[in-house]
Amino acid sequence: MIKSKMKQQPLFGTLIKIVDDPAMLIMAKDAGMDFVFYDCEHGMIPYDRLHDLMLMGNGIKMPSIVRAAQLARSDVSRVLDCGAEGVMVPMIETSEQARQLVQWSKYPPLGSRSYSGGANTFYKPSGNHQENMRELNQATITIAQIETVKGVENVDEIAQVEGIDALIVGPADLGISMGNPDNMMHPDELALIRKVANACKRADKGFGIIGPLPLIAEFKNDIDLLISAIDVNILRDGLKQYVKGYQDIIK
């Protein structure tokens, strides 16, 4: 489980926006990644395709986290019903929002997630609801994404919410919120990210960043969840490398 493993060692995953071929899961596992992170906020993969990808991923022990489009029951609970091991909601700014996220991502007694068997139980037979809910609450990682100045201002209260398992910083939107859209390594932004890392440490919650490797390196002693590889960047950089090689040959 991501939730338990992240406290033993940092876990590395790739953000998926457009690649929806199941072979990607096999390649990610072969490359040594610990999870895949599907983006339903900015990405293009529909729910029915996500269901199939995550079901296969669970079958080969390549778990999935999904960034939901928004803080809504239909978005949070549905991705978990489709088989995700974790869910993250963007732009969390208050403890009230964090508590709502827990309500929709965790079953009673911790939350009020509606029960449904299916991909989330790997299509086990009906029944055994109590044990299934207990196991899924134990396995499901619920993540608040902190990516505004207001979110950082309230980060201690957010981190203390029972049922929130990790906080992940979105440095691009955080910089935009600060009026600093193009320099994630600016000292002022690093100071805000440090506040998030410290709040996670005080609350014994996981800490993560979706960002470039230099930023991740800055917090290498604090980070539990690393998301730096993005499918569109991998494709773009790989194509550029091949084009450059071709151009070097024909010069």
Residues labelled as active-site residues: 42
Whether the ω angle into residue 125 lies within 30 degrees of 0, i.e. cis, is no
Round to whole Å and give the CA distance between 5 and 163.
Answer: 17
Residue 113 contacts residue 136 (beta carbons within 8 Å): no
Helix axes 95-105, 73-81, angle to 10 degrees: 40
Q: Which residues pair with 86 in a beta bridge?
A: 65, 141
Residue 209 contacts residue 191 (beta carbons within 8 Å): no
User: Phi and psi for 63 in degrees, rounded to 5?
Assistant: -70, 165
